[in-house]
Amino acid sequence: MNIQWYPGHMTKTRRMIVDQIKNVDAVCEIIDARIPVSSRNPDVDELTAGKPRLVVLNRVDQADPEATRLWAAHFRKLGYAVLESDAKDGIGTGKFAGAIRELLAEKLRAYAEKGQVGRVVRVMILGIPNVGKSTFINKVAGRKTAKTEDRPGVTRSKQWVPIDRGLELLDTPGILWPKFEDQSVGLNLAYTGAVKDDILDIETLGCHLMTYLSSHYPDALKQGYKLSALPEREDEENEVAYGYRLLEAAGRKRGFLISGGEVDTERMAKILLDEFRGAKLGRFTLELPQ
Binding mask 28-67 for ligand G4P (x = CB under 6 A): ------------------------------xx-xx-----
Q: Does 90 bind ligand G4P (CB under 6 A)?
A: no
Please state, in angstroms and rounded to a whole number, the distance separating the CA atoms of residues 202 and 270: 7
Cβ contact 124:20 at 8 Å = yes
Q: Site for ligand G4P (CB under 6 A): which residue of 21, 119, 130, 177?
A: 130
For the CB of residue 75, give the shortest distance to ligand G4P in the complex, in Å: 17
- The piece of 133-141, 202-210, 243-251, 282-290 that touches ligand G4P (CB under 6 A) is 133-141
Size of the site for ligand G4P (CB under 6 A): 16
* Strand, coil or helix: 122: strand
The one-letter amino acid code at 117 reads: V
Neighbours of 122 (CB within 10 A): 16
- The piece of 84-92, 152-160, 220-228, 266-274 that touches ligand G4P (CB under 6 A) is 84-92
Q: Does 133 bind ligand G4P (CB under 6 A)?
A: yes
Residues shown for the chain: 290
Q: Site for ligand G4P (CB under 6 A): which residue of 111, 148, 203, 240?
A: 148
Q: Does 134 bind ligand G4P (CB under 6 A)?
A: yes
φ, ψ of residue 279 to 5 degrees: the values are 55, 35
Q: Site for ligand G4P (CB under 6 A): which residue of 127, 206, 224, 251?
A: 127
Burial label for 12, CB within 10 Å (0-12, 13-18, 19+), is: middle
* Residue whose CB is less far from ligand G4P, 135 or 188: 135
The H or E element that residue 249 is part of is helix 239-254
The one-letter amino acid code at 138 reads: N
Q: Does 178 bind ligand G4P (CB under 6 A)?
A: no
For the CB of residue 146, give the shortest distance to ligand G4P in the complex, in Å: 7
Cβ contact 277:59 at 8 Å = no
* Residue whose CB is less far from ligand G4P, 135 or 211: 135
* Residue whose CB is less far from ligand G4P, 86 or 264: 86
- The piece of 16-24, 81-89, 164-172, 249-257 that touches ligand G4P (CB under 6 A) is 81-89
Closest CA to 124 of 29, 40, 55: 29
Q: Does 86 bind ligand G4P (CB under 6 A)?
A: yes
| Strands (E) located in 25-166 | 26-32, 53-58, 81-85, 121-127, 160-164
Burial label for 173, CB within 10 Å (0-12, 13-18, 19+), is: buried
Please state, in angstroms and rounded to a whole number, the distance separating the CA atoms of residues 190 and 35: 11
Q: Site for ligand G4P (CB under 6 A): which residue of 132, 174, 186, 251?
A: 132
Q: Does 283 bind ligand G4P (CB under 6 A)?
A: no
- The binding site for ligand G4P (CB under 6 A) comprises 58-59, 61-62, 86-88, 127, 129-135, 148
